[in-house]
Amino acid sequence: MNKVVVKWGLDEVLSLKALNINAPSPITKQYKWPGQYKPFAHQKDTASFMTLNKKSFCFNEQGTGKTASAIWAADYLLTQGKIKRVLVVCPLSIMDSAWRNDLFSFAMHRTVDVAHGSKEKRKKIINAGAEFVIINYDGVEVVKDEIAAGGFDCFIVDEATHYKNAQTKRWKTLNSLVKEDDWLWMMTGTPAAQSPVDAYGLAKLANPLSVPRFFGAWRDMVMHKVTQFTYKPKDTAKDTVHHVLQPAIRFTKEECLDLPDMVYTKRFVEMTAQQKKYYDTLRKQMLMQVAGESITSANAAINMNKLLQISAGAVYTDDGDSIEFDIRSRYQALRETIDESSQKILVFVPFRHTIDMLTRKLRADGITSEVIRGDVSASNRTDIFERFQNNPDPRVLVIQPQSAAHGVTLTAANTIVWWGPTPSLETYLQANARIHRAGQKHKCTVIQIAGSAAEKRIYKLLDDRKNIHSAIIDLYKEMLD
């Protein structure tokens, strides 16, 4: 391998760079690729790149097989005696369904365990000596002493954007565990999807000398201050971030996979009279609240969230109760989509109470469905994902976006329905990639259901790959005008 393609992007705007590697990696010539699947060329290049760079970034796009590449690279280093143990840090939802399953497929000769459960159970698993140990982000803090004494010298961080904030305990814990001579591979398809400042935590973990010691200095390098609470990226931000997030490799799906088309469509539904009444009442209250006063991002986000709850079908009251609305028109749009689809369906629903309401209606209509959200255990998620992929039922998965936006392959579905928009561009992009990845044989469709002006405006920002959090005040003012 004489040259590796290195690409990364802000807001999915990619710039092509080339990284020349003088010494070809022996993994491409000497390594006998284990497992039942043969690697694609881009997976070999990615695995080789990892073996040549102790601390590096893999920004391959969602669905291109980053997990397999990391497993093959780690297996090669274990075979060569370069490393002793591997700690995989990833979201709770994919510990079993993605990482353990892929390790069984691509490195079945290695010992694997998942450190999840009580503190004592995690300790026992860490101390048992498995070559690969899989743990969720916040679990690292629980057994940090055992990890430090456990002989781990290779750390694989999946969906690494969870470490973008260097002020969190999560970041500080991992930083204290990774030593100078350890291997650290940080993987994400969206390294700075929301803002250039998100690159700081990632760079400080893997390439600390490339960024200033303090976050404020980094922010001043990539952003300029517009108002007291508003910053916008500098024209040079993209090049600055590219410089600090090195060494890195990126392949897009278009470069390496022959996937079916991805089609985006919108379905506009009328809010019911009850929804309109509450929506207009809340909007008038918001107008009264901001009269003559400045708007903060926090207040704008809270009020916008209330409008989105009403639009989706259920709103939480100040005392914790909820009010349910008639959602017949929106539900009818969903039912039409289910009836029209030749394959299974993913329905992303932002709010928990709406998930309960929607699931009741689906099951009452005889549509087999399961729910994935924050309170569903890892073992149950794994079982649901496996049944969804391999069995006729369930036909529909109703998902809270943050709970299954990363790492999970759900190619049994070829249609995604957004019951309501998510305010996170990264979550939106990652969630849509659950069906548009290797193994998909059918044309894919993403359907946005919208009934209110708030929903339409947020979908427009998502379509334009805009950071909603930074635009929240402008969006809020639009809603009030």
pLDDT tens for 318-372 read 666 778 888 888 998 898 888 878 789 999 999 998 999 999 999 999 999 999 9
Quote the strand ranges of 130-259, DSSP E: 132-136, 154-158, 183-187, 223-225, 231-233, 248-249
Same domain, 237 and 311: no
> How much is the pLDDT for 20?
38
Domain that holds residue 393: 262-480
Angle between helices 215-222 and 199-206 (to 10 degrees): 120
Condensed to tens digits (0 to 9), the pLDDT of residues 51-96 reads 999 999 999 877 788 899 999 999 999 999 999 999 999 887 678 8
- Clarify whether residues 323 and 445 are in a common domain: yes
Q: What is the mean pLDDT of the chain?
A: 85
What is the b/e burial string over 374-409, where b = at least 16 CB atoms within 10 angstroms of the residue's CB? Answer: eebebeebbebbebbbeeeebbbbbbbbbbbbbbbb
Percent of residues, the chain, with pLDDT higher than 90: 47
Whether residue 154 sits in one domain with residue 42: yes
Give the span between the Cα atoms of 334 and 280, in whole angstroms. 25
My answer on whether 276 and 149 are in the same domain is no
* Structural domains counted in the chain: 2
User: Does residue 200 register a pLDDT over 70?
Assistant: yes
Reported as a pLDDT band with limits 50, 70 and 90, residue 213 is very high
Average pLDDT over residues 119-139: 95
Instruction: Check residues 407 and 225 and name the one with the higher pLDDT.
Output: 225
What is the domain-level CATH number for residue 175? 3.40.50.10810
Say what the pLDDT of residue 366 is: 92
3-state helix, strand, coil in the chain (%, to 5): 45, 20, 35
pLDDT at 18: 34
Domain boundary among 234, 256, 278: 256
354 shares a domain with 240 = no
Q: Same domain for 92 and 138?
A: yes
* Residues 70 and 25 reside in one and the same domain: yes
DSSP letter (8 states) at residue 375: T
Distance of CA 307 to the CA centre of its chain: 25
Query: Which residue, of 201, 234, 256, is where some domain finishes?
Result: 256
- pLDDT tens digits for 407-430? 788 999 999 999 999 988 888 988
Question: Which whole number is the average pLDDT over 9-34?
Answer: 52
Q: Cα dist. 196→29, 60, 63, 313, 403 in Å?
A: 38, 18, 24, 35, 25
Is 111 or 264 the better-scoring residue by pLDDT? 111
Strand partners, 133: 87, 113
Amino acid in position 48: S
Cα dist from 221 to 193, 211, 231, whole Å: 18, 10, 12
Please give the average per-residue pLDDT across 199-210, as a whole number: 93
Asked which of 199, 225, 256 is the last residue of a domain, the reply is 256
Residue 175, token pair as written in the block = 């930083």
What is the pLDDT at residue 42?
A: 84
Same domain assignment for residues 148 and 269: no
Task: Examine the domain organization and report whether 134 and 221 are in the same domain.
Answer: yes
Tell me, yes or no, whether 145 and 294 share the same domain.
Answer: no
Reported as a pLDDT band with limits 50, 70 and 90, residue 480 is: low
Q: What is the DSSP string of 103-156?
A: HHHH-TTS-EEE--SSHHHHHHHHHTT-SEEEEETTHHHHTHHHHHTTT--EEE
Residues 226 and 164 in one domain: yes
CATH number reported for the structural domain that contains residue 341 in this entry: 3.40.50.300
Query: What pTM was computed for the model?
Result: 0.68
54 in Cβ contact with 15 (< 8 Å): no
96 and 40 co-located in one domain: yes
